[in-house]
Structure 1
């Protein structure tokens, strides 16, 4: 095998505003001389793109999102692959999976895998899945049919909403799996029969896109009605982000404090959150800005005084890993408040470079927000320490370099 085979990267959707960490990794691989082709299970739904997406040169191929929408494409793929002995060998693990997950989704992933193999793009010689749930299912079946090896990057929701049996099987099928938080890493290692094939690699930040803020954050302290302390949060309006908890915390702040909260991000719960804000009497203090691109988000970080994110474990087990927005905000010396969930404590050391409160606790969150509103000196101290941590330990060159090392080590062992 060539030392640098072309990598077919299988993604759930592309491009996505919420997955800048994936986009900058793809760009980093390209800049290091690796040729990529992107395979997406879904077409884009966001109205905007980040600049990084326009810098990635890899072509993008879209598989049928729903098999019934492109039946002839799926049928052609079946006709082409059913003659392979490897197709029939693949059926045994597929039916074993199906016995434990009797869902239409299981057939959908098989159909997408057949199309991927039948339309194999641009002589790619390696498969890499981003997310260990549905993209890894497609990738695993495609690998069994094609004989092309595969590897995987696991993140957060994909780990914590997957069944242990399925994670264990995929860890055994992939050459290696990398994940981005210690909590996820330890969980996957516990499920892997070969623990040396699970690796920890924090997502780095492209610090060229988030250069040091040369200005100063304000010394507002909430005492001037016409000059409110600016609180910002960036994240999708979904349950695991805890925006209902954050709104409840804001409603508990003393009436004498002057503040304004701005939310950046789209999501299915936006309407409900806006209704909750109305019930809590917060409408006049809130701004809802929808999805913004990276340059616009950077500007908001620099205008703000506090970043807040009330991450939680959702009812279905979904949770954040280590939200990239916390790394971004920290890079701009912005004091951050969040919750002790998943990988967040791996970035924020409470009282040293940010503030952490227990999840599902609006009262504790309100107390932390009030403390930072009233104490601009503390905000500056925490923000400065946060930036030092990010610039020392979260440069994306390190994470991309680690990923390249894993690829090349595997390729050297391959026949």
Structure 2
């Protein structure tokens, strides 16, 4: 089979378990420069708890992405074989990089008589790795099997004849060693002039984990009667014991000794190095690290931040997450929430002792910088003792965050919302520049609107906008409000990027739910600005129609809303289940006929996009940025805020006319797909953040 320009077509199978952070890098490198039809790429996502599948589809729309419910590399390889149709067939780990040019060289080698298995030579990206890790790979690169035996290490390719040497992949850890033992040295080829990039661990602990897995896999093969062919210790020792190689050789022996012990001490433990799953070294990452800071992360009411973080990682950014307050266990309503919370550093809670030691280190180490910063921060306070005390609290918390940013190598903070998160990002960047010099730290802001616009002076909005290097806002309406607070020469740094819906999660139901009663759905936190009492009043006006209302969301006003429903005699027609996890929302949308958002004020609500992505006709209020999403009478219905009579009339129109529901639902779906795709929005934000200049990126 050949591609569009005569190139031999190859199948590339990529097993991927929780590889959201690196699958985009892998696919981007692989497909860059490939001819149409040259590569048949099959990504098998096995037991993923993250957004690997979505990231793969976003990075390579032409690829086939298969999802298996359970983890397991062998099952993923076998499933990939069932989908693949071409030879040569390449088996590629998701955390390595190889170009199509090097694939072509491997294909040329496999076309030679007698060559059944081939791979490029590995290149180890060691920049930024600890000394021990660098010395270990310095020794490993001298071992003869790298050039003589052709090890796997994340890549091997087979001809059709070579693949017929064995049946299905067995459930063993060392799949590459299992494959190689089926070929004699003359049948396998390490292709000179071709290479692929391996990203070694960023920690010694990760290195030991990787090596322990190798030893465990070797024992599995030995127990099965098929010993791994690559353990030629005598040749390895001869290669290592040479002038100038004593230290790398000693490190190599020591690490392997520890890994061997660990593999026997924890014989059932799966070893995985997650440090190399984060794009951190400059050889792969064209930008610098970005630290996302929010008041609470993850948050059930701000899942768009989580999606943006993951989209940024898929686009190649090394994103670290920080939270002012730690998310509480009962707020983590999905597996993704729990995973993100586990890797997020939080300022609070913190003990007084930690605060005192952190502040003392900063003041004693950088007294002039800290003194100047204190004067600047207190100068931002409004009049009054309480406001000045609050700025001192922000200052101490910012010092904690500054230390953690230095530890993680973050010099660019991006805040969502112009609240305490923006205050801390501003102070951290200010302190960083005072210590390290101008241009060494920066901070940026995504501004969502509504609440902050209602209290411009209280949140110190104008100075924050002036201090930020870039301001991303989600609607043209909000941008216009911000421009009034900035000098005209600053307007260019305020950029609109619409938030979006996850089009892989929210899709129209295969068949509309049966009716009547018609199910009306609303989703959002129970807060006065959401206007839910108006929706209840509108439902009371529709008493004669067969309809029910479900309002999904938590908040302090939940019980009061229940009381209001009872007062209006709607107890049997209104459901208030409280907050639910993101995993449950798609099913709620599929069970509904109409979506309604009666807010008094909004920025550009993602939940409205999700409803439209699910094919629901929407009724919303004509406030702020909503008309940029919903075109009245075209892709939904808009009504004035606070008017129960107008809201009831719009709902009645949809309740009485199923054809109108279908028309508006289809138009809304097309609208979201065209302009409000979360993956596309995430890539835009990532590109903007990557372009923010820093004169120095700290390690």
| Aligned pairs for 1:61-210 within 5 A | 61-65=345-349, 70-83=351-364, 84=366, 85-100=368-383, 102-103=386-387, 104-120=389-405, 121-147=407-433, 148-157=441-450, 159-164=452-457, 166-193=460-487, 194-210=490-506
User: Once the two structures are superposed, what CA deviation does each residue of 1:237-257 show, in whole Å capped at 9, x if it has no partner?
Assistant: 01111111111111112x421
The count of residues paired between Structure 1 and Structure 2 equals 398
User: After alignment, is 13-22 or 202-211 more displaced?
Assistant: 202-211
Q: Is contact 2:298-2:341 (8 Å) kept?
A: no
- How much does 1:109 deviate? 1.8
Structure 1 residues 304, 406: closer, same or farther in 2, change over 3 A? same
Distance 1:172 1:363, change over 3 A: same
Range moving further from structure 2, 398-407 or 231-240 = 398-407
Q: Which runs of 5+ in 1 are unaligned?
A: 221-226, 313-318
- Distance in 2, matches of 1:4 and 1:207, equals 27
**How far apart, CA to CA, are the structure 1 residues paired with 2:658 and 2:390?**
51
Residues 71-113 of structure 1, C-alpha deviation per residue, up to 9 Å, x if partnerless? 2222122212223222222223212212447424333322210
> How do 1:241-260 and structure 2 match up within 5 A?
241-253=530-542, 255-260=543-548
Aligned partners of 2:451, 2:317: CA distance in 1, in Å?
26
* TM-score normalised per structure 2: 0.54
SS at match of 2:693: helix
- Tell me, in whole angstroms, the C-alpha distance in 2 between the residues paired with 1:334 and 1:256: 23
**CA displacement, residues 279-319 of structure 1 (integer Å, 9 cap, x when unaligned):** 1000011111111122321111111111111100xxxxxx4
Task: State whether structure 2 residue 321 is matched by structure 1 residue 27.
Answer: no
1:281 aligns with 2:574: no
CA distance in 2, matches of 1:249, 1:403: 39
Secondary structure at 2:661 match in 1: helix
Of 321-330 and 104-113, the range deviating more from structure 2 = 104-113
Work out whether residues 512 and 593 of structure 2, in 8 Å CA contact, stay in contact via their aligned partners in 1: no
In the other structure, the counterpart of 1:234 is 523
State the partner residue of 2:651. Answer: 369
Contact 1:27 1:56 in 2 (8 A): no
Q: Which deviations, in whole Å up to 9, do the C-alpha atoms of 1:42-78 show, x marking residues without a partner?
A: 121444434543665983111025xxx6222221222
User: For the Cα contact (< 8 Å) 2:618–2:665, is it kept in 1?
Assistant: yes
Change (3 A) 1:269 1:372: same
Match of 1:14 in 2: 297
More divergent stretch after superposition (99-108 vs 369-378)? 99-108
Give the greater-gyration-radius structure (CA). Answer: 2
Higher relative CO (CA 8 A, sep ≥ 6), structure 1 or 2?
A: 1
Q: What TM-score do the two structures reach when normalised by structure 1?
A: 0.90
Deviations, residues 260-292 of structure 1 (Å, cap 9, x unaligned): 111111111000000011110000111111111
Aligned partner (choices 618, 626, 635) of residue 353 of structure 1: 635
Greater shift, 297-306 or 41-50, is seen at 41-50
1:403 aligns with 2:685: yes
**Separation (CA, whole Å) in 1 of partners of 2:383 and 2:481:** 21
Q: Distance in 1 between matches of 2:483 and 2:397?
A: 28
Structure 1, 333-342 or 74-83: larger mean CA deviation: 74-83
